[in-house]
């Protein structure tokens, strides 16, 4: 693409995103999926909506589900996890 065309094309793409309400936040999971948390750790994964979490993973507690990378709950779960009994616990430093 010629250089003189790139600027207007980029400007139009940004304007379209702003006018349509598109967000530049990266979703935790894609459409048709939900995020799950590794039991006893800070790992996460995405699971199709019609499937249960795989072994070793659980659903996030209600109301504490990260929706976007870097949001309040995404950040919270970097230092917290759910133990095998379903209790929210802090992850040991370096763990």
| CA–CA dist 61, 81 (Å, integer) | 10
Measured in degrees and rounded to the nearest 5, phi and psi for residue 89 equal: -135, 155
Question: Is residue 18 in a domain?
Answer: no
* Residue-range definition of the domain harbouring residue 34: 25-90
Place of tokens 């507690």: 61
Residue 19 lies in a domain: no
Q: How far is CA 89 from the centre of its chain?
A: 20
Q: Is residue 79 part of a domain?
A: yes
Q: Which phi and psi (to 5°) does residue 58 adopt? A: -145, 160
Q: Is residue 45 part of a domain?
A: yes
Domains contained in the chain, number? 1
Does any domain span residue 86? Answer: yes
Is 52 a domain residue?
yes
Predicted model pTM: 0.70
pLDDT for residue 29: 95
Q: What DSSP element (H or E) covers 6?
A: helix 3-20
Residue 2 has pLDDT above 90, yes or no: no
pLDDT in tens, 18-75: 454 455 679 999 999 999 999 999 999 999 999 999 999 999 999 999 999 999 999 9
CA distance 64 to 77: 9
Q: Is residue 10 part of a domain?
A: no
């Amino acid at each position: 693409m010629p250089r003189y065309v790139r600027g207007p094309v980029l400007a139009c793409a940004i304007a379209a995103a702003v006018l349509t309400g598109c967000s530049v936040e990266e979703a935790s999971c894609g459409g048709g999926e939900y995020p799950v948390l590794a039991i006893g750790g800070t790992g996460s994964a995405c699971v199709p909506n019609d499937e249960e979490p795989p072994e070793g993973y659980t659903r996030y507690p209600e109301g504490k589900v990260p929706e976007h990378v870097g949001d309040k709950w995404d950040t919270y779960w970097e230092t917290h996890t759910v133990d095998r009994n379903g209790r929210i616990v802090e992850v040991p430093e370096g763990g």
